[in-house]
Chains A and B, each alone.
Chain A
């Protein structure tokens, strides 16, 4: 079902958390709400499921205005960060709870419960209690319980935050598989950009209660609208250096480095201070614009090496390259940047 937040605002007393936010989630889409801690992701989620009353604007499910509808009637499936399984019930009873509340006939409850248990692969655990399950298994139960009554939308609040790294990888693809199999509209809240990029159709990136950009992961990575977005996506992260427009070129501040203007940027007038963003994978042995500096840090990541390159003016660039032995700490090197992959931002962070 299509979900629309229309000029939605939420404040707690005097604290304005979200103001006039408009966000559309398409039918069957999985959208990530990505942003730093405290930016209002959970608040948005809780407004959609009705735990928080909105202070302004509307929330629409399909064409129906849900703004004043109580939680119980919204039919939203929520997976909480702590899973919130009912500790005194078995797995089967947990999953069946929403159906029993609806007073479905017992045979039907059992059938749907088992169908859902099969979908999330926990058929063998139905008689256990939550305390007797591993974190990943609890996660699956929570998903099954949220999905069993075929909700209008599935909300996931940092569902992977409590899992260890390996399990996180596994559940990432599992959640996506289940979402695609059920075709449900889903919103995933996370502050992990890798999760957002790998699991979702589109990402809405938030900062301080505002949506900065909504786009597909590739589009957002290739074409960030602000320096904030560029800095949020990518691991290792993008590096920024200060520069000045001069004669159609970019002169890096306090250093004898000239970079060509990226083709997709509007050329600012001479003397304008700008911020140049360079992603680590675009700085290395090939490219068209040379950059000189000293290697100030080397980190071996197995297949690749991560280098910090300190320029003459003290700013630091990052470079990620195939593993090799020919450069070491404190070497002076001349590497190259692919100038078509540069991002140019104004001083206020807006993309040029």
Chain B
């Protein structure tokens, strides 16, 4: 980075501006492993007591591992559903001559722009009637349905860039339309599938309102709901515990970003290389 002397004022300004954020994160991290004397912010002892929730389940709460597993299942299932359906629907909308194609495209667009939260009461009723209220499957279906329009549009965009001749060549080579899609077209949109899967997973992992309303208690609780329950619990409110669970909750997200950041950058940089 030599020779970039002019950039130091910018770096300085950015550092000063982002310092509070960095400090907050650092403090969050330190705070979960230490105790501070009353009235002070400076920690004076190292402790693991705030992390005891990992191996000790207080009465009346679900085990943290059970909740984590729920979150994981919720996020992976919605991501899988979204990816599978979007990768097919996107292809159909991009390539096949389906009746009312324009209507579907516009419809998907409207659905995407539609604030799904306004439907929550109706969804709540529907889930209760079909008996999926307070179940993981119920929220998974709802979440996947809400994320799908975005996924379909994203995948349609990726399919649109695949040359038409490749498919025709595949057909001439004797492959069925389905084989052409799976063996020839799908590999060209792999970056899209991957990005969509990752986003859908992160969206699912971070989702709070839907599980909170549709699966608030019982065995279907996910991490975000668990966390919210901690604050709401007036009897034994524990700030440090809340912070620890919070850190535990965002750790997978940070890890994912750490591993895939270069990949995601590449996609946003227009790098849709097959």
Contacts and interface: CB of A to CB of B under 8 A. Distances in A.
Contacts of A71: 171-172
A149 B174 contact: yes
B172 A78 contact: yes
B176 to A, nearest CB: 7
B177 to A, nearest CB: 9
B188 A87 contact: yes
B184 interface: yes
B9 interface: no
Contacts, number: 55
Contact of A82 (B165, B173, B174, B184): B165
Contacts of A329: none
B38 interface: no
Interface string B162-196: 01011011111111100100001001100000000
Bin the interface of chain A by size: 20 to 34
Given A72-B176, A101-B179, A84 B163 contact: yes
Contact of A86 (B166, B171, B172): B166
Q: Which of B163, B166, B169, B176 has the most CB of A within 10 A?
A: B169
A82 B171 contact: no
B173 A51 contact: no
B169 A84 contact: yes
Given A82-B165, A84-B166, A101-B179, A77 B172 contact: yes
Contacts of B188: 87-88
Interface string B35-60: 00000000000000000000000000
A61 to B, nearest CB: 14
A166 interface: no
Interface string A67-91: 0000111011110111011111000
25 contacts: A72-B176, A77-B172, A78-B172, A80-B168, A80-B169, A81-B165, A82-B163, A82-B165, A84-B163, A84-B166, A84-B169, A85-B169, A86-B166, A86-B169, A86-B184, A87-B274, A88-B188, A97-B170, A97-B173, A98-B174, A101-B179, A102-B174, A145-B169, A145-B173, A149-B173
